[in-house]
Amino acid sequence: MKKISVVFGVLLFLATSVAPAYCAEKDNIIDKNNKYGGKTEEEIYHSGDKKHENGISKIVEYYDSNNKIVEIVSYYRDISIIRDGVFKREQHYKMGKLTKAEFYYTDEHSRLDGLAKSEIYYDHDEKKTKAEFHYSPAYAEKKVLSKMEVFYDKEGEAYKRIYYDLSGKMISTEEKQLEWKTKK
């Protein structure tokens, strides 16, 4: 009986001293009072981790004072950056629901394709409603196009595009009926 008590005591000691240290390492809280009044957690992925294999090197999660997720920032590995041109994604949440996702493109990608940043907006059901594509100043000067907005219907199909120049002035708009029709 004494042996069981000693083993139980050792297990209890390990559970209360080692486990919290392990959890803190796993959760990796880097800030207990972030800009939203809550904690910030960081998770770094290494070879063998599923997220690492899917091209993510690190994720930082921001919570509010009610411990609700407010923002998730994902940083991508070189292999994903080369393939997609995206080096960082920010997802913004309100009351636990995704409201906006932002994608930041590398300078190399911007130089080749013009796209510097894109933003996707979601409604209260987390369905895509609008996307904005922001082009680099060099691309905008060369091609006139600085920003494009795309609007989506309830089925997620694009139905309208609006194009803007560097000054923010609308250049043209297109609407999809059976095919895209340009209006100036």
Evaluate if residue 35 carries a pLDDT over 50.
yes
170, β-bridge pairs: 164
| pLDDT of the residue at 78 | 94
Evaluate if residue 25 carries a pLDDT over 80.
no
Domain that holds residue 74: 33-183
Residue among 105, 140, 139 nearest 119 (CA):
105
How far from 108 is each of 58, 59, 121, 140, 165, CA to CA, in Å? 21, 23, 26, 16, 22
Domain assignment of residue 13, yes or no: no
pTM, rounded to two decimals: 0.79
Domain assignment of residue 5, yes or no: no
Residue 146 phi, psi dihedral angles, 5° rounding: -110, -35
**Mean confidence (pLDDT) of the chain:** 85
- The answer to whether 131 and 159 have CB atoms below 8 angstroms apart is no
Domain assignment of residue 4, yes or no: no
| pLDDT of the residue at 176 | 86
Other CB atoms within 10 A of residue 120 CB? 19
| pLDDT of the residue at 68 | 96
> What are 136-179's pLDDT values in tens digits?
999 999 999 999 999 999 999 999 999 999 999 999 999 987 77
Q: pLDDT band at 183, cuts 50/70/90? A: low
Q: Where are the alpha helices (DSSP H) in the chain?
A: 2-27, 50-53, 78-84, 107-113, 137-143
Please give the average per-residue pLDDT across 104-108, as a whole number. 96
- The answer to whether 22 and 49 have CB atoms below 8 angstroms apart is no
Evaluate if residue 9 carries a pLDDT over 90.
no
> What are 53-90's pLDDT values in tens digits?
999 999 999 999 999 999 999 999 999 999 999 999 99
Domain assignment of residue 27, yes or no: no
How far from 124 is each of 64, 80, 96, 155, CA to CA, in Å? 19, 30, 10, 15
Residue among 58, 68, 48 nearest 28 (CA):
58
- The answer to whether 109 and 135 have CB atoms below 8 angstroms apart is no
Evaluate if residue 5 carries a pLDDT over 60.
no
How far from chain centre, in Å, is Cα 101?
5
Evaluate if residue 1 carries a pLDDT over 80.
no
Q: What is the CATH number of the domain that holds 83?
A: 3.90.930
Domain assignment of residue 145, yes or no: yes
Domain assignment of residue 170, yes or no: yes
Domain assignment of residue 122, yes or no: yes
| pLDDT of the residue at 87 | 97
Domain assignment of residue 172, yes or no: yes
What's the total number of domains in the chain?
A: 1
